[in-house]
A and B are shown apart, each in its own frame.
Chain A
Amino acid sequence: MNIDIKHIAKLARLRIEDGELEKFKNDMQGIVEMVENLPSDIKDEPLLDPENSMKLREDKVRENKYSRDELTKNAPHVTAGCLVVPKTVE
């Protein structure tokens, strides 16, 4: 199978430089061939697992124990308590 690495990388928001393209393409080709080893006789059935249902939390607001400062302190660019990104509209 011919994998369009540039297209996949674009979907994943990764940039593969031209010099690396061949290497990634070869690696991916090999990996995809490996994962193609799946049975052909498998029948389609619902994938829900009733035995392992999750215990969902109540839809109730709980007091937040973190301050805005604590939560934004790891962000690369913060101004006036807001996360700053490049301009997206002209």
Chain B
Amino acid sequence: MELFEKSAFELSQMLDKKEVSSVEITKSVFNRIYSVEEKVNSYVTLDKENALNKAQEVDKKIANGEKLSPLAGIPIGIKDNISTKGLRTTCSSKMLENYVPPFNATVIDKVNNADMIITGKLNMDEFAMGSSTETSYFKKTKNPFDLERIPGGSSGGSAASVAAGEAVVSLGSDTGGSIRQPASYCGVVGLKPTYGRVSRFGLVAFASSLDQIGPISRTVKDVAMLQSVISGHDRYDATSACVDTPDFLAGLKSDVKGLRIGIPKEYFGNGIDSNVKDAVYNAVKVLEQNGASVKEISLPSTNYALSAYYIISSAEASSNLARYDGVKYGYRAKEFDSLIDMYEKTRSEGFGDEVKRRILLGTFVLSSGFFDAYYKKAKLVQRRVSAEFNEVFKDVDVICTPTVPSTAFKIGENIDNPLKMYATDICTVTINIAGLPAMSIPCGYDDKGLPIGLQLVGNKFCEQTLLNTANAYENIIGGFKSPLL
């Protein structure tokens, strides 16, 4: 087994025993990038020189006997909407093609303080708006399990790179499913933390009340380790919660005896592929056979969540993206006759169609005469959705659902049909609306060999329960498959 194929947990133990150096691990990952990146297209920007320099520094610290974080020396890829000082951060948009942040996002400071090695910036849907990474201005990322198919989105590069061995772990962001959906399509593990668990400072804003940064990796242990690194209150983000950060790895259990699982009937209706339903039911059965109890539950407002999500997220996006005006940073149109003309041309030339659609929808639902009927109503639905989850979590510890209704579709299949694309988010958006933590873990493969994801949803700040359940499942089935590339 090559180094790039190993988990962060294994590599961390090898580093600890001085069986390998961080430079060797980093070189192995870059060699893998050079051999498969042409097929997968995960990265927008590579940062090999800095990565190797940092790896050298870490090796020196290890040689000097310094006490380092468990993830020290481990290569990590970063979604290209997380600000990295001195390293281009494009959001996969023409608008930010040449933008180099003068500051680090808080999570990047934390990753650096943990002595992790940043390999580069990962492709995504433009401004995280999309479900296939096809709206990237730069390139189309491919699914490592089938290069004719999409990796999911918007964190498509984050999931594909980890699945393909081009990063040991990665960071993504999730506004309506953007970590879990690509994790499901690419057969990897992804966690969207509770809203407020991780600082959003330096995450380029899409929908501020829903956005959350989270880890993606090939094993549950690695996700647990990275989640501990990135969590915590931050004075630069007033919405980050003042809760303690547990050591999620130390707290990891591998049995599910006594765990109460809820199966919401609304997530298994028409529109969910039968392969997906079967795989999810089987996974639940495995947990039940190992000591969990299972009961059917109901979350009646689920049917309204997709509407509420697209209204709230687009409304916030239209406000957040007003900052791209060609004045302070980013693209500026070449020719214009006035300030307004400059704004309009800059924004029309700098944004792609999907971003424009979301801005238009957001502007519409916030515009005079429509605010109460759309935005306010959507916020009231959000409250109802949250209340239903609160009620359900009195009786269950974890909710199990499919992550996505079907497996990865072909590149180009849905790109001209926004409604079909939006429908792939149906199982994930509700969780963001309610601000809950949720994970996707592989739970099977369809008849074409494409991965299927099991979504685990927990109560607020109960990430440990999700990680324990996922860890138990991973142990029982003996680990997850990697694609052949």
Contact = CB atoms under 8 A, between A and B. Distances in A.
B344 A13 contact: yes
B328 interface: yes
A56 B356 contact: no
B429 to A, nearest CB: 12
Interface in A64-83: 66, 70-71, 73-77, 83
B19 to A, nearest CB: 40
Contacts of B100: 73-74
Contact of A36 (B307, B325, B347, B348): B307
B65 interface: no
A56 B307 CA distance: 31
Given A15-B348, A36-B307, A38-B377, A85 B327 contact: yes
Contacts of A30: 418-419
Contacts, number: 141
Interface string A16-56: 10000000100110111011111100111101000010111
Nearest to A20: B353
Question: Chain B binding site: helix, strand, loop or mixed by DSSP?
Answer: helix
Interface string B329-355: 111100011111111110110010000
Given A34-B307, A55-B238, A55-B242, A12 B342 contact: no
Nearest to B324: A13
A8 B384 contact: no
Interface of A: 3, 5, 8-9, 11-16, 24, 27-28, 30-32, 34-39, 42-45, 47, 52, 54-57, 66, 70-71, 73-77, 83, 85-88
Interface of B: 98-100, 102-103, 196, 233, 235, 238-239, 242, 301, 303-304, 306-308, 310-311, 318, 322, 325-332, 336-345, 347-348, 351, 356-357, 359-365, 367, 374, 376-381, 383-384, 418-419, 422, 435
Given A13-B322, A42-B380, A74-B100, 14 more contacts: A12-B347, A12-B362, A14-B360, A34-B306, A35-B311, A35-B365, A37-B307, A38-B374, A38-B381, A57-B235, A74-B328, A85-B339, A86-B342, A87-B339
18 contacts: A8-B364, A12-B363, A13-B325, A13-B340, A13-B343, A13-B347, A14-B348, A14-B360, A27-B357, A37-B307, A38-B307, A43-B380, A47-B383, A74-B99, A74-B102, A74-B330, A85-B327, A88-B338
